[in-house]
């Protein structure tokens, strides 16, 4: 497998990840529909964000793309390679082209290894370059992520949280991947440090033409770094659009509720009047409802919503929505 050639670095087609199933002495085992038919593409050099509340399936989607959980159905393509079908040595070799930055920099680094060893490890495992070339690569990576040369001799516990995440970024960059999956990479950091890491990621993307899949529950972070955003709810994408369109013209009631929950320092009466409130908890991913999965919490639900599962349809150019009510452009959300 070589690097990405073409417009899209990543293509995900009808991805499904189900846990459980089968039979036991007590009968059929329940099936958890963690991801249930997700499709999207990420252009090379761009950042695609996935947002949603806990349990929406966004992290499982990321782990499935990284082949860290079993893919039940669907295809994941990195460039022209179907990475969801790779096994054994082929998968191991291909991993240099897609790397991940985990949420918690405190637990994602081996505490027994020095920083330089941590960054160098993927190069050693995949036998990339000569020994001298690997040393030079590690030195360059430390400089690129803003770490000092002498810090290569330190252990992870001697770094701050932000520095550890810089270390995680350096490790992910070491194999020169086509795609970097970022699973809530700044949620464990202070706000000021978050901004530093996001600015670093943006600079690295510009300099190295990186492609990011960015998972987050923080809409402010997503708005800062992503080019296109998908909103997930209970294993499915309910709305997808470019950053400007999604924040200025959200169409799905769930998206509007998420945006209404974001605190602002300049709230006004119009914001309060148009605020969408969502009550209750999501349905169980084991016993999914027949119709729209958001129907039990939707403030504008109709009878048909409980019977028909909406599909993700084009609302306008590049803007997709999965909502039966959205077929009527005059529908309005009322405060509930």
pLDDT digits (tens, 9 = 90+) for 274-330: 566 777 888 999 999 999 999 999 988 999 999 999 999 998 889 999 999 887 655
Stretch (H or E) spanning 164: helix 161-173
Q: Look at residue 131 in the predicted model and tell me its pLDDT.
A: 94
- Count of alpha carbons within 13 Å of 206, Cβ hemisphere only? 7
pLDDT digits (tens, 9 = 90+) for 128-184: 999 999 999 999 999 999 999 999 999 999 999 999 999 999 999 999 999 999 999
Q: Which of 294, 8, 24 is nearest to 179 (CA)?
A: 8
Distances (CA, A) of 206 to 178, 202, 220: 13, 6, 21
Residue 214 bridge partners (DSSP): 49, 182
Q: What is the pTM of this model?
A: 0.90
CATH number for the domain formed by residue range(s) 8-233:
3.40.50.300
Q: Which of 150, 215, 229 is nearest to 186 (CA)?
A: 215
Q: Which of 85, 53, 63 is nearest to 19 (CA)?
A: 63
Q: Please, which residues have CB within 8 angstroms of residue 55's CB and are 6 or more apart in sequence?
A: 234, 282, 285
Strand ranges, E, within 3-72: 8-20, 23-24, 27-28, 31-43, 47-51
* DSSP state, residue 217: S
pLDDT digits (tens, 9 = 90+) for 193-218: 999 999 999 999 999 999 999 999 98
- The domain segmentation of the chain, as residue ranges, is 8-233, 251-336
Share of the chain above pLDDT 70, in %: 90
Q: Look at residue 280 in the predicted model and tell me its pLDDT.
A: 80
DSSP labels for 127-138? T-S-HHHHHHHH
């Amino acid at each position: 497998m070589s690097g990405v050639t073409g417009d899209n670095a990543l293509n995900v087609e009808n991805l499904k990840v189900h846990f459980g199933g089968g039979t036991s002495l007590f009968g059929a085992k329940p099936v958890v529909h963690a991801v249930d038919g997700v499709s999207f593409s990420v252009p090379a050099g761009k950042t695609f964000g996935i947002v949603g509340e806990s349990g929406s399936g966004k992290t499982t989607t990321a782990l499935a793309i990284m082949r860290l959980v079993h893919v039940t159905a669907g295809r994941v393509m990195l460039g022209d390679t179907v990475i969801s079908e790779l096994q054994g040595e082929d998968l191991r070799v291909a991993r240099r082209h897609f790397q991940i930055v985990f949420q918690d920099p405190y637990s994602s680094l081996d505490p027994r290894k020095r920083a330089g060893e941590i960054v160098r490890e993927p190069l050693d495992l995949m036998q990339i370059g000569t020994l001298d070339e690997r040393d030079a690569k590690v030195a360059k990576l430390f400089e690129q992520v803003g770490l000092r040369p002498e810090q290569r001799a330190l252990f992870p516990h001697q770094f701050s949280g932000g520095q550890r995440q810089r270390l995680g970024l350096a490790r992910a960059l070491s194999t020169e991947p086509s795609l970097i999956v970022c699973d809530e990479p700044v949620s464990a950091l202070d706000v000021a440090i978050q901004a530093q890491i996001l600015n670093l990621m943006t600079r690295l993307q510009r300099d190295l033409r990186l492609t990011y899949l960015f998972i987050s529950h923080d809409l402010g972070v997503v708005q800062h770094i992503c080019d296109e955003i998908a909103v997930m709810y209970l294993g499915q994408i309910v709305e997808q659009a470019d950053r400007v369109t999604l924040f200025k013209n959200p169409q799905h009631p769930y998206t509007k509720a998420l945006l209404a929950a974001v605190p602002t320092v300049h709230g006004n009466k119009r914001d309060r009047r148009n605020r969408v409130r969502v009550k209750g908890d999501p349905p169980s991913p084991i016993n999914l409802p027949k119709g729209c999965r958001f129907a039990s919490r939707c403030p504008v639900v109709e009878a048909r919503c409980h019977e028909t599962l909406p599909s993700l349809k084009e609302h306008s150019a590049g803007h997709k929505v999965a909502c039966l009510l959205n077929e009527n452009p005059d529908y309005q959300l009322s405060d509930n």
